[in-house]
Amino acid sequence: MTELSPEIITQPGSGPAASTWKRFLLDILETLVLSVVLFLAINAVSARVRVDGFSMLPTLHNGEFVLVNRLAYRFGQSERGDIIVFRFPVNPKEDLIKRVIGLPGEEIAISDGHVYVNGALLVEGYIAASPKYVGNWSVPEDHLFVLGDNRNDSSDSHSWGLVPLENVAGKAVLVYWPFDNWMLIKHDQLVLAAP
């Protein structure tokens, strides 16, 4: 009596080689999904902005890349001295970066090369030069008055008006490029001298 052993018939696409390819494709798919999730999460809490122009000299320089904290004002409020990124009220497709000078409900005056908030002199050691312009502004609720640190070469609230709080994208926190310029951005707590 002879025994017959059953033949093992392999289906095309099965076996060790097919299993390796399936695992490889699954790994690629998992990596892509994880990358998309991380990208969306990082963009939900931060933004990257390029400084264009010289309006924030000497603090920020043309061509630097800045990391922006999008959550900074969801859990807190703007403070005088914060450097913020916001949608330009005149052209909302454009982002600008400036320093907060006036808060909601305050009166801002610029004269004799100085900035005054509610009649008190604003002490500013970070500006490129004293402003050569004059003016008075009342900051309504839900708005900010912003100026560039390079006061005489900056398009800011003194020339086009106030920034609605809803336009604020976040607080600038770090210069990350070029690498030689890497620094945490200092947000001066600005001092008001007695009137």
Is 171 an annotated catalytic residue?
no
Please compute Rg for the chain using Cα positions: 28
Residues 21, 10: Cα–Cα separation, whole Å: 17
- Residues in the chain, overall count: 195
Which of the residues 78, 98, 157, 171 is marked catalytic? 98
- 55 is an active site residue: yes
CA angle 147, 193, 189 (to 5 degrees): 50
The active-site residue, picked from 55, 78, 154, 157, is: 55
Write the CB contacts of 40 (distance below 8 Å, at least 6 apart in sequence): none
Torsion of CA 125, 87, 170, 139, to 10 degrees: 60
What is the rounded distance in angstroms from the CA atom of residue 151 to the CA atom of residue 146? Answer: 11
- ∠53-184-46 over CA atoms, to 5°? 75
Cα–Cα distance measured from residue 32 to residue 87, given in angstroms and rounded to the nearest whole number = 31
The two tokens of residue 19 are 């299993």
Question: Active-site residue numbers?
Answer: 55, 98
